Structure 1
């Protein structure tokens, strides 16, 4: 089935670097201002312990466990509250894409699918108004699975009750869009707003 032959009923959006660009440099700079060298220590920890952070996003590590380890890495020079705020002040808004959501919502079920964690939800993007446009937020730590694991895509399908072919997924990471296609979805790798509009227009979504 080609994309032009499809009938879509569900649009699934990634959060980070699609609807909400993020940048850890402000967080690292904020930690560095507490004491010189702390930002570097935090950067080194995340670089060397990618799987630990991924386990946090999967829900295998609790917020309390994660914060305790981070405070240890930072030599307890910050409080738990300070860390959570600095760690989460990384998100901005893709306003051009966000303005499309109300229009899309009139015709399609909208689902947010994100590898994320409860601290970022509470202290970071959780208050963004555009989240109200979504029929469902499928968050990795809540379903105990992360992209590109099939379980997290299946969690979307369990909510939508729609055939796989009626889903289209927008994510900036090629591996995650490829998995969606293997699941029977259509997918667009997000490389910019204009390109996405062109892809949606080509499919008759816009």
Structure 2
């Protein structure tokens, strides 16, 4: 892995209020710029053949209106699919919405943004970002490594390695800063979420 600090700083994070069908919600927003045209980045995040190389095997009826299942992770419905710009789907529950947007960022550069929105009743507070944000950071990191030609080997082993957990610990700190900047959670809520996230994502540090 490149310098962990460099990889953490390549990701832009924010936490904000959002509207949902169930009222007030919380959105976790993650953005990173990749080398490559939007068409190739889109293919990497939607192709059943390429997804296992950096993310996980995904099965299902992979089209707008279809369903999907990520191995050992969430499944859901594909609500919108506009290649190579927009993918919107449910993630684990009908009221958990993930929207992925790709935009050109200059010559041979693509911005990828993930926006994950849930009702406040599910998140509890903006501190809920710490339960999902570090996982998305891991995905964006692995996508960057894959697109740069790295052989990632066994993904679970890499994520659970000391280096992978050090990245997650840095990610947790960055998400805690984003939660505090949002002013949408108390310090007690944020501290409790940091503890829970560390236990899950970096248990050996």
Please give the TM-score of this superposition, normalised by the length of structure 2: 0.29
Instruction: Choose 1 or 2 for highest CA Rg.
Output: 1
Greater relative CO (CA pairs within 8 A, separation 6+): 1
In terms of fraction of residues, the more strand-rich structure is 2
In terms of fraction of residues, the more helix-rich structure is 1
Please give the TM-score of this superposition, normalised by the length of structure 1: 0.29
